[in-house]
Amino acid sequence: MRGRRTAIRILMLAVVCALGLIGASPAQASVERTDRFSILDEGHDFGEGELNGWGRPSADARLEWDLVAGRWEPRLVGRLFLNNANGECIRIQMVAIYQNGVTTTHSDDSSEFCAPNGRTWYNDVDFTPVSSAYVAVVYFRLQSAPAGGWTFSTEAQSLPFLAPWWL
């Protein structure tokens, strides 16, 4: 009888531990769709790879639509290029429009940089500022600020991208 109680207790402990591990597992992300694009402007570009002979990115950047626990997380992966700009600064912004019409703007401060001389400079972007079940559309702005000034202006922008649930 005593051995049977011990076996039942061990079995119950194993079940409780297994349920605890299942409940404690992190939310799994899945990439539902990937959109590819570049933003091209004179001396300011956003894409992937290196600059080609025409001064344009050799590949397109990626907008990955990750679905994490029922929430859309648009993730921007690419590279900012600044060409022949002495002291000029550059950054990328994500503009998110939600189902209810609310619009939010998010600047990627971690990839923002200034060119120390007139050569070609770049910085990698891996940016996920939004996590919402209600995001409907995103688009991106390539912004620059002149040497010595910190007022950014939009140089170019992408087309809008619809969240996968719209399609």
pLDDT tens-digit map of 76-95: 999 999 988 888 999 999 99
Tokens 């998010």 belong to residue: 106
Question: Could you give the CA distance from residue 43 to residue 152 in angstroms, rounded to a whole number?
Answer: 15
Other C-beta atoms within 10 Å of 109: how many? 8
Alpha-helical segments (H) within the chain: 2-24
- Architecture of domain 28-166 in CATH? Sandwich (2.60)
Q: Per DSSP, what are the bridge partners of residue 109?
A: none
Mean confidence (pLDDT) of the chain: 85
Q: Would you give the distance in Å from CA 141 to the centre of its chain?
A: 13
Residue 64 — very low, low, confident or very high, per pLDDT cuts 50/70/90? very high
Instruction: Say whether pLDDT at 53 is over 80.
Output: no
Strand pairing class (44-51; 71-83) = antiparallel
- What's the first-to-final CA gap in the chain, in angstroms? 62
pTM of the model: 0.80
Query: pLDDT tens digits, residue range 90-127?
Result: 999 999 999 999 999 999 999 999 998 888 899 999 99
Q: Is the pLDDT higher at 43 or at 73?
A: 73
